[in-house]
Amino acid sequence: MSIRVAVIGDIGGHREELARELRRLGADDNGRLPDDLVVVQVGDLIHRGPDSDGVVRLVDRYLRKQPERWIQLIGNHEAHYLRPPVFDWNERLSFGSRRTVRRWWRDGIAHAAVAVHTADEEFLITHAGVTEPFWRHQLDSAVSAAESAARLNATARDEATALFDGGCILGGGPPNPQVGPIWADRELELLPGWRNRPMPFSQVHGHSGSHGDCADERTFYDARQRHEVTLLEGGRIIGIDPGHRADPQRSWRSLVLTATEPPRIAYEHSATA
């Protein structure tokens, strides 16, 4: 079995950008996604661009009509409406969109993490990436991406979960090695810990990136796709935030992985155990 998993980075309220990428991936004129495709969106669907409410409506249509084809993760901008706000933002989702995002979270439709397996690589996908200290302390050094995703999702709704702990992007303080995978900064918080210790699996994240001006010799930037790949011992860290602001980036792409099994968000107990 082979499944195309298209991992889509931060959309930032740009509905037309999202719709265009889905057409490129094979969505038909009615928007229906093809049977061989699963979309993972890494969160930060909203804010910045012209039509956050339109993005929420579009994604909600997929989550209702083709729930097996869409895995929605949450970013810090969705979390803004799910928990007491921890930052100020100069726009606010409509009442209806707030209610929709809260329903995704309350009903277990949106997640903190997902694991994807290809023929020769395992990926943990989160909004901002799991730092090495977070993995060691909060995930008990889980050896697989699937187990890490399951642990993150199992604790995601706990009031005191470390998942939402902020770092240098939130409030502008010094880097916090224990920052959670909703807030980690790629350059200052995510990459440093993994440079000194083999990765147990690869990771894909949105949220932040150097967008081309990284001097690191192990990092490769694809300006057309706006993907940033750092090769490390044991795995790689792939950043896919396109960096849309009020105006979208002209050129960007989802990251398409060829998976050997459906993406996993939770523990699956063997029937023969």
CB nearer to Mn ion: pick between 80 and 207: 207
Q: How far apart (Å, rounded) are the C-alpha atoms in residues 55 and 46?
A: 7
Mind giving me the DSSP string for 127-149? Answer: SS---HHHHHHHSTT-SSHHHHH
Per-residue buried b or exposed e for 37-55, using 16+ beta carbons within 10 Å of the residue's own CB: bbbbbbbbbbbbbebbbbb
CB nearer to Mn ion: pick between 172 and 198: 172
Q: Which residues contact 35 (CB under 8 A, 6 or more apart)?
A: none
Cα 153 to chain centroid, rounded: 13
We find the least distance from the C-beta atom of residue 147 to Mn ion, in angstroms, to be 24
We find the least distance from the C-beta atom of residue 166 to Mn ion, in angstroms, to be 11
CB nearer to Mn ion: pick between 236 and 244: 244
Q: Is the dihedral of CA 180, 181, 185, 191 positive or negative?
A: positive
Q: Which residues bind Mn ion (CB under 5 A)?
A: 44, 75-76, 207
Q: Which residue has the tokens 């967008």?
A: 211
Beta strands 202-205 and 122-126 are parallel
Nearest residue to Mn ion, scored by beta-carbon proximity: 207
CB nearer to Mn ion: pick between 33 and 237: 237
We find the least distance from the C-beta atom of residue 5 to Mn ion, in angstroms, to be 21
We find the least distance from the C-beta atom of residue 185 to Mn ion, in angstroms, to be 10
CB nearer to Mn ion: pick between 39 and 128: 128
Residue 248 in tokens = 């979208």
We find the least distance from the C-beta atom of residue 66 to Mn ion, in angstroms, to be 25
| φ, ψ (nearest 5 deg) of residue 73 | -100, 165
